[in-house]
């Protein structure tokens, strides 16, 4: 019997927060069980240390076929300190140098959007390439013709020059718009991966007690990498349009990693809303604690400001069977509506948000349990890794 082929896959990602670390951890775990793949991760050393220290607690495997090339803090600072254009060139060229020295047969860009200029003008990669496209928003109605033209032009030329084998789109509706632009590159849908954790009643109670989450209020969760795009400010403004009785029924739970400057801004802002109970967990949240945040909530807020593409928060809400109040914009708005996962609203309008909160408090929000289960199944970490394997190698 012929020996199984061995693929040498290099993956590059210089960002070590948010969904980036989750995606990498999922791939390490899943590819640890694919002995025909040698995997090299070119990633920040902070991620490597954190993963190795916590992987057993988080429940992730680390096979002998997994290798790391650490990017030290000075390298990260140098790369991220450049303009987006220079950074694209620098990171791409660095990626090609490391991958070819390792004799990679295949490569995967975890954030394809960043690298198009580098792919077009930088070094030539002599290995088959794949990439995950996060924000193919050139087909959105709000996109200007000039912006859409530039994005289409960059997409076509960068993939052609790099001999890109496959492009994975997190925005499933964009696939039909991308395919006509690319000649030799395969375009595939890929799901936003999320891991589900088993949570006991005792663990949930302990979480509630630790963070003083009230049992007699409707807990509104705002989860993720916290920044101005999450819509925290507009939610707070919306509460000014609620009655004191309605306000007394709500509790805002804000949980996730945050920059020191934005944390200071929010802490000062929260003081201006003394009538609203606010619980803040300003730290990176991993593993089962993610699930506990959602299990402790009643309503998941997704008031993203002009967000393009998918979000794992929507999937996590479905896993925990929690209804969503989200933006009506883009793919998220379409999914929330079409799959009956909650209510949508103009996420830039405090008045409209207040009206939907009133509906939630007084009438509730209907949802489809069947569609939530479908969302969970289609967005598992295994489905994510299997799609990547199929597109890159088969």
Per-residue model confidence as pLDDT tens digits over 262-283: 999 999 999 999 999 999 999 9
- Going from the C-alpha of 255 to that of each of 26, 30, 34, 221, 360, the distances in angstroms are 22, 27, 35, 8, 22
Question: What is the per-residue pLDDT across 176-192, written as a single tens digit (0 to 9) for each?
Answer: 989 999 978 999 999 88
Q: What percent of the chain has pLDDT over 70?
A: 96
Cα–Cα distance measured from residue 317 to residue 161, given in angstroms and rounded to the nearest whole number: 40
How large is the average pLDDT for residues 310-316? 86
What strands lie across the sheet with 66-71, from one edge to the other?
66-71, 37-44, 7-12, 106-109, 128-133, 164-169, 186-189
Q: What is the pLDDT of residue 351?
A: 97
Q: What is the pLDDT of residue 233?
A: 97
Q: Is 326 helix (H, G, I), strand (E, B) or coil?
A: strand
Terminal CA-to-CA distance of the chain, rounded, Å? 20
Confidence grade of residue 145 (pLDDT, cut at 50, 70, 90): confident
Confidence grade of residue 325 (pLDDT, cut at 50, 70, 90): very high
Question: What is the per-residue pLDDT across 217-238, written as a single tens digit (0 to 9) for each?
Answer: 999 999 998 999 999 999 999 9
pTM check: above 0.85 = no
Q: What is the pLDDT of residue 308?
A: 65
200: phi then psi, degrees, rounded to nearest 5 = -85, 160
Cα–Cα distance measured from residue 178 to residue 384, given in angstroms and rounded to the nearest whole number: 20
Angle at 313 between CA 79 and CA 81, to 5 degrees: 10
- In our burial notation (b when 16+ CB lie closer than 10 A, e otherwise), range 6-25 reads ebbbbbbbbbbbbbbbbbbb
Question: What is the per-residue pLDDT across 185-212, written as a single tens digit (0 to 9) for each?
Answer: 999 999 888 888 889 999 999 999 999 9
Q: What is the pLDDT of residue 3?
A: 47
Give yes or no for residue 2 having a pLDDT over 50: no
């Amino acid at each position: 019997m012929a020996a199984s082929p061995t693929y040498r896959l290099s993956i590059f990602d210089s960002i070590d927060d948010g969904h980036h670390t989750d995606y990498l951890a999922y791939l390490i775990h899943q590819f640890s069980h694919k002995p025909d793949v040698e995997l090299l991760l070119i990633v920040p050393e902070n991620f490597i240390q954190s993963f190795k220290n916590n992987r057993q607690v988080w429940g992730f495997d680390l096979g002998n076929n997994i290798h790391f090339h650490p990017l030290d803090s000075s390298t990260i600072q140098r790369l991220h300190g450049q303009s987006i254009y220079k950074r694209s060139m620098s990171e791409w060229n660095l990626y090609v140098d490391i991958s070819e020295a390792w004799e990679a047969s295949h490569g995967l860009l975890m954030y394809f959007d960043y690298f198009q200029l580098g792919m077009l003008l930088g070094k030539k990669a002599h290995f088959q390439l794949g990439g995950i496209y996060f924000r193919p928003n050139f087909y959105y109605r709000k996109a200007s013709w000039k912006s859409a033209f530039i994005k289409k032009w960059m997409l076509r030329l960068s993939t052609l020059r790099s001999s890109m084998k496959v492009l994975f789109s997190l925005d499933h509706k964009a696939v039909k718009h991308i395919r006509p632009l690319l000649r030799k590159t395969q375009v595939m849908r890929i799901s936003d991966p999320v891991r589900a954790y088993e949570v006991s009643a005792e663990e949930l109670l302990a979480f509630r007690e630790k963070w003083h989450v009230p049992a007699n209020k409707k807990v509104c969760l705002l989860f993720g990498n916290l920044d101005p795009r999450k819509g925290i400010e507009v939610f707070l403004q919306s509460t000014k349009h609620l009655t004191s009785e309605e306000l007394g029924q709500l509790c805002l739970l804000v949980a996730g990693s945050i920059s020191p400057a934005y944390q200071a801004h929010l802490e000062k802002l929260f003081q201006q809303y003394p009538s609203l109970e606010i619980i803040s967990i300003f730290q990176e949240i991993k593993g089962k604690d993610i699930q506990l945040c959602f299990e402790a909530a009643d309503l998941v807020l997704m008031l993203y400001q002009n967000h393009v593409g998918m979000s794992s928060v929507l999937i996590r809400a479905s896993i925990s069977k929690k209804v969503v109040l989200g933006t009506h914009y883009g793919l998220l708005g379409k999914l929330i509506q079409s799959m009956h996962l909650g209510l949508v609203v103009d996420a830039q309008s405090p008045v409209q948000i207040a009206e939907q909160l009133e509906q939630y408090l007084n009438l509730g929000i209907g949802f489809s349990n069947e569609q939530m289960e479908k969302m969970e199944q289609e967005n598992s970490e295994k489905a994510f890794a299997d799609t990547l394997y199929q597109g890159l190698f088969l």
